[in-house]
Structure 1
Amino acid sequence: MSVTPVLEPIDAYELWAADYPAHAHNPVMHAEERAMLELLPRDLSGATVVDAGCGSGRYVRHVLARGAARVHGVDLSPAMLARAEAELGSDMSRVVLSEGDLDALPLDGATADVTVCGLTVGHVEALEPALAELCRVTRPGGYIVCSDVHPIGHALGWLRDFKAGGRRYAARHTSHLYSHWHAACARLGLAIEQVREPMLDPRDIPANAHFDRKALEVPVALVFLLRRVGAPVPGSQS
């Protein structure tokens, strides 16, 4: 049995970009997206939104559909940003795409009324610096809607895997427990407003699909609605 090579995120997404859709394309993503869209404000008319880890533009399209006036999409991968630009087409008139790390976003403080970060924080090893950046770019009183693969999946050995050039690869992923989120949010001045732990919908699973049947019994994502309520505690990232 062959071992799936685990790549650094930048290398993984450079390979994956050519075939990466701008929509939820597997059962885990469908479950995660339903929870994210439930927590995302329905009316974003006139709002400025940051999509941190925007990839091919999946959530950029959703926030534009809800009326966002300006969207700043940031991603580590130039190939994924190019894919997003191609997918967004005429909607690019309201979008600015930038290359940058999740823990060093190339944006001014308090840029966003709402910040979105979908299935990205697991690609950084330290949670708190990434959350600190999401907090920094969000205005006081603004919201952050953030998701990651559930830590249960990591414990069961699930991979963020994909195929490229006829081979299977995986992107490196670090599990962040709920206790880590709770402690980091407390130090950073982020209120945890709501939490979702979505389960798979069997209707999303293709017939004859080969997958871990335990996935039907456990949550597959951890999804947060956070509100920036204050300044970070001094020294909280040390």
Structure 2
Amino acid sequence: MSVTPILEPAAAYALWAANYPAHAHNPVMRAEERALLGLIPDRLEGRAVLDAGCGSGRYMLHALHRGASHVTGVDLAPAMLERAAAELASWQGRAAVELKQGQLPQLPLPDAAVDLTICGLVIGHVRQLAPALAELRRVTRPGGSILISDVHPTGHALGWLRDFKADGRRYAVEHTPHLYSHWHAACVALGLSIERVVEPMLDPADIPTGAHFDPVALDVPVALVFRLRRLSKPEGAI
């Protein structure tokens, strides 16, 4: 049995970018996206939105379709930013759209730059949760929302990989599970209020006929989705 190489995010997404569409393209992503979109306001007119770890731009597109006036995407991989630029080309002149290379926890944005921050299925690529959350908080205005999703820690415990194929070979992206206790402790320390937590399950209708997958996946949550609010100061501060 061959062993799947596990790559650091920069190397993985450089390989994956050529085949990475700007929409949820597997059952886990569809479950995650349904949950996260349910936490985004239906109308975003006048709002500045950041997609941290934007990939090929799927959440940027959702924000634009909901009327966001200014959307910024940040990603580690230049190849992913090229994909996003192609997907977003039709929006030029209709809304302010920016793409920047960067990564957590060093986002290339000033303090309190956006009203809404989205970080979809990215934070598991960061080994330390608190510094990443601190950076997402920094760029979000006081009172603003931060929507974050990750693969559920249960999947990691069951041995699931964030895998993909490139040039006919299977690879996986390095991923660190962050438990709810880690999220709670970091949010309390940083002045982030946990407003909603969603643990979506797979929809059997999303599973392709004949697909090979762990049947346990239908019985456990596959993603962990948070809506956080940036408070003016950490809880307990005077």
TM-score > 0.5 by shorter chain: yes
Offset from partner CA, 1:187-209 (integer Å, 9 cap, x none): 00000000000000000000010
Which residue number corresponds to residue 236 of structure 1? none
**Alignment correspondent of 2:212:** 210
- The equivalent of 2:16 in structure 1 is 16
Match of 2:164 in 1: 162
Alignment of 1:1-238 (within 5 A): 1-93=1-93, 94-231=96-233
CA distance in 1, matches of 2:234, 2:87: 36
Which aligned runs of 4 or more in structure 1 are off by greater than 3 angstroms?
none
Per-residue Cα deviation, 1:18-75 (whole angstroms, up to 9, x for no partner): 0000000000000000000000111101100011000000000000000000011000
Pairwise CA distance, 1:232: 5.0
Alpha-carbon displacement from aligned partner over 1:151-208 (angstroms, at most 9, x marks no partner): 0000001101000000000010000000000000000000000000000000000001
Aligned Cα root-mean-square deviation (Å): 0.9
Contact 1:113-1:138 within 8 A present in 2 as well? yes
Letter in 1 for 2:105: D
Q: Confirm or deny: 8 A CA contact 1:85 1:92 kept in the other structure.
A: no
**For 1:101-156, what per-residue CA distance to the aligned partner results, in whole angstroms no more than 9, with x for missing partners?**
11000000101100000000000000010000110000000000110000000000
Shift in Å, 1:92: 3.7
In the alignment of these two chains, the number of paired residues is: 233
Change in CA separation of 1:53 and 1:231 when aligned onto 2, cut-off 3 Å: same
Structure 1 Cα separation of the partners of residues 233 and 97 of structure 2: 28
Q: Aligned-pair distance for 1:90?
A: 1.8
Identity %: 69
- CA distance in 1: counterparts of 2:92 and 2:83, whole angstroms: 12
CA distance in 2, matches of 1:211, 1:92: 40
Q: Which amino acid aligns with 1:48?
A: A
**AA matched with 2:40:** L
Could you state the TM-score of these two structures normalised by the residue count of structure 1?
A: 0.96
Q: Distance in 2 between matches of 1:52 and 1:64?
A: 15
